[in-house]
Amino acid sequence: MIGQIFFNEVRASFNLRKPKSDRPTNIYLVCRINKKQVKLSTGVRVYPDQWNTKKQEAYVSPRLTELDNINNAIVNDEINKLKADFIDFKRYICDNPNEIDNSLFLLKKYIYKDRMMKQQELQKPVQWLRRAISQDKTIKSDGQRNTLAIYWGHLKVFEEFLKATDREDITFADINLALIKDYKTYLFNRQIGKGKTTKTSTVGNKVTALISIIKRAEPYGLIDTSAAKLNLYKKPKSREGDDNEIYLSEEEVNKMYALELKGLEEKARDVFVLQCWTGQRFSDMQLLNNGTIKDFDNGKILEIVQKKRTHKVSIPLFPVALEILEKYNFQIPKVRENTMLKYIKEAGKKAGIIGKHIVTEDRGSKITNTTYCRYELIGTHTGRRSFISNMLKRGYDSHILMRITGHTTEMAFKKYAKISSEDAANLMLETEATKVKQLDKVATTISQEGNKEAINILKQHQNIIDGITFDTLLDTQFFASRINKAVELQSQVGHLKNGKLCSYDNEITSLISEIEKFSQSSTSDSDVAKQYVKQLSVWKLSDLHDCFREMIIKCVKIGISKDAIMQFINKALEIGLLDNERFANIKEITTALLDKRNKG
C-alpha cells in the first residue's frame, strides 16, 4: 500500500430500491469500497412514504397503524445493528490495513454474519457443494476424463467417509482441520481392491482436491477456511520417488509400429505411436483431425488448440507422424481409453518390450516393490512421456519442448521427463564426442594448410560459444538482468525505512540510467553472440526471439527511453536475432506501446 488511505472516513447510507413505489421496497446499505459502489441488501423493507431519508430511518408515529409501527421498528432495529456492524468493520480494517484489498469480502462477513450462521445451520455440505459444482458452467463436463465427474467422485468418497463415521448430519460449521485429518486416516485405511489400501500420493491429492472444492462455499459465507484451519493441512510425503512410470525408446516405438496388426488393434497402435511422435495428451489426439497444416522449408507443422487449457500449440510432424496422419487421411480413428489400454499393452508384448521394471508403492506405513514386464506398464500417458524423453535425448531444450506439449510450468513438464541418469550421461558423452570430431575435422584441414595458431583460436572461440545461454546472451547484449531487476522493484509496494513506507523510485531511476547508457555503448562480444545465434535451431531461435520481445515490453513498462529501446532492437537485427520481418514487427509493436505510454 503506497499513499494515504483514510478508511475511517468511508460512510454507509441506506437507500431505497424503489423510492417512488407505493409498495414496500427493499432497503440497501450503500458505500464505496476501493473506489467502487457497493450495494448490500439489508433484508428489510419499508413503504417509501414512511422512510425518513435525512435521518436514515423509518417513521414510528401515532399517525401510522399499529402494524406499520411494528414493521418500521423492526426496520430501525436492523439498521441500527448494521450501523454498528459497519463501524466494527471499519475498525477492523484500520487495525489491519494489510486486509484493505480484501475489504469487500470482509464487509459482507460483518453485514451478513447472522444470516451466514443460519445458513451454516441449515446447509448440508456435500449436497450444497454438489449443487454448486453442477451449476458452475466453467467446469468441463466432456472429454475422456471430465472435470465434473472427477469433482463428483471426490464428493462421493467424502460422503462415504461421513456415513462410515456417523457424521452424515454435519454442517459447514463442523468442517475443520480435525475432520480433514480424520478423512485422511480413513483414506489410508480404505480398501480399494485386492487387499490394497490407498497410495500415500493419492491420499494427499484427494484431500487437497476436497479442500479446494470446500473453498467454493467461502464466498457465500458458509465457511471461513482460515478459521477452520484448512490452510494448515499438509500433504503426506510419498516415499515412492518418480521412477515408477516408464517411457519407450525410439527403438521400442519403432518395433511397435513395425507390427503387422489388423482392425481395432492396428488403430489403437497407430494412435499410440502418433502420440509418441507428437507429445500430445490422449484427450487431445482427436483434435489433430481438425488442426491446421502449415508448410515450411524444412517440413510440415500441425497447429491445434488443446482442450485442457485452450492452449494453442504447433507440432512438428516427424516422418512417422506424417505417415500415420496420411494413412488415415488426417482423420485418425477414435479409440476409447479402456480399449486403447488393452491393445497397446498387447502390442508392447508382441513387440518384445518385456524388460523388467520395479514399481515402488507407498501405501501409508507399507512400502512394496513389485516387478513388472515393461509392456504391462504402458498406458495412455506413456506416449506423451516417450516423446518428451526421446526429444530430450536428441538434445532439444526443455523450453522448446514445452511449447509443443503445452506445459506451462517446468514442474509439470519434469514429471514427463523420464530419461535415466545413464541416458543423460550418454547424451553428454555423445554431444562432446561430436564437438571433438567437428573440431578435429576443421583442425585437420587447417593443419594441412600449416596454420596451428588458427586451431587454438578456433577451439577458444568454440568454448566461449558453448558457455553462452539464452540468459547470458540477453544480459551481455541487452543488460537483461538490470531490466528484470527494475521490473521486480516496480512490482513491489516499497520498503520500510525509519518506520516509514518508501518506494523504490530512486533505485528504479538509477537502473534505468544504467540501462540507457549501456544501450549507447558497443559490446566487445557481439561477434561471439552473432556466432551463437547462427548455431541455433529454428525452434531455439524462435524461443529466443520470444524472450527478446518480452524483454522489450519490460523496457517500455519501466520507462526506458525510446532511443535506448530502438538501439536494442537494431542490435538484435545486427547479430541475427531478428530477421527483417520480425524486426519490422517488433518495431511496430514497440512504437504502439510507446505511444500508449506517452498518452498516460
HSE (CB half, 13 Å, CA atoms) of 163? 7
pTM: predicted TM-score of the whole model, two decimal places? 0.51
155 and 106 within one domain: no
381 and 280 within one domain: yes
pLDDT value at residue 489: 82
Examine residue 102 and state whether it is found in any structural domain, yes or no.
yes
Examine residue 526 and state whether it is found in any structural domain, yes or no.
yes
What DSSP string runs through 407-459?
--SHHHHHTT----HHHHHHHHHHHHHHHHHHHHHHHHHHHHTT-HHHHHHHH
42 and 23 within one domain: yes
CATH number for the domain spanning 290: value is 1.10.443.10
270 and 222 within one domain: no
592 and 509 within one domain: yes
Residue ending a domain, among 232, 258, 293, is 232
CATH number for the domain spanning 185: value is 1.10.150
97 and 145 within one domain: no
Residue ending a domain, among 232, 266, 281, is 232
CA distances from 365 to 184, 208, 361, 422 (A): 13, 20, 11, 31
Positive/negative CA dihedral, 469, 471, 474, 475: negative
371 and 293 within one domain: yes
Range of the domain at 60: 7-111
- The grid cell for 531 is 556466432
Examine residue 78 and state whether it is found in any structural domain, yes or no.
yes
pLDDT value at residue 507: 85
CA distances from 8 to 94, 98, 326, 557 (A): 7, 15, 70, 34
SS3 108: helix
Q: Where are the alpha helices (DSSP H) in 279-377?
A: 319-327, 337-350
Number of domains in the chain: 4
Contact of 213 with 180, CB cutoff 8 Å: no
Cα 50 to the center of its chain, rounded Å:
54
For cell 510432424, name the residue: 317
Examine residue 19 and state whether it is found in any structural domain, yes or no.
yes
Examine residue 514 and state whether it is found in any structural domain, yes or no.
yes
SS3 140: coil
Q: What is the DSSP letter of 289?
A: G
For cell 482423420, name the residue: 331
Low-confidence ranges of the chain (pLDDT < 70): 1-3, 114-122, 140-145, 241-242, 309, 365, 410-411, 415-471, 493-501, 522-525, 536-540, 600
What DSSP string runs through 8-30?
GG---EEEESSTT-SS-EEEEEE
HSE (CB half, 13 Å, CA atoms) of 524? 0
Residue 262: φ, ψ to 5°:
-135, 160
Helix axes 562-574, 526-534, angle to 10 degrees: 60
For cell 454507509, name the residue: 12
Give CA angle at 538 (249, 575), nearest 5°: 140
Residue ending a domain, among 380, 401, 419, is 419
Examine residue 240 and state whether it is found in any structural domain, yes or no.
no
- The grid cell for 480 is 537483461
pLDDT tens column, 45-65: 999 999 999 999 999 999 999
472 and 396 within one domain: no
pLDDT value at residue 457: 46
HSE (CB half, 13 Å, CA atoms) of 482? 20
Q: Provide the edge-to-edge strand list for the sheet that holds 312-316.
A: 292-296, 299-305, 312-316
412 and 312 within one domain: yes
For cell 521427463, name the residue: 417
d(C-alpha 126, C-alpha 172), whole Å: 9
SS3 306: coil
pLDDT value at residue 429: 65
d(C-alpha 272, C-alpha 320), whole Å: 12
- The grid cell for 247 is 517411457
Q: Where are the alpha helices (DSSP H) in 145-300?
A: 147-164, 177-189, 200-214, 250-257, 263-278
303 and 261 within one domain: yes
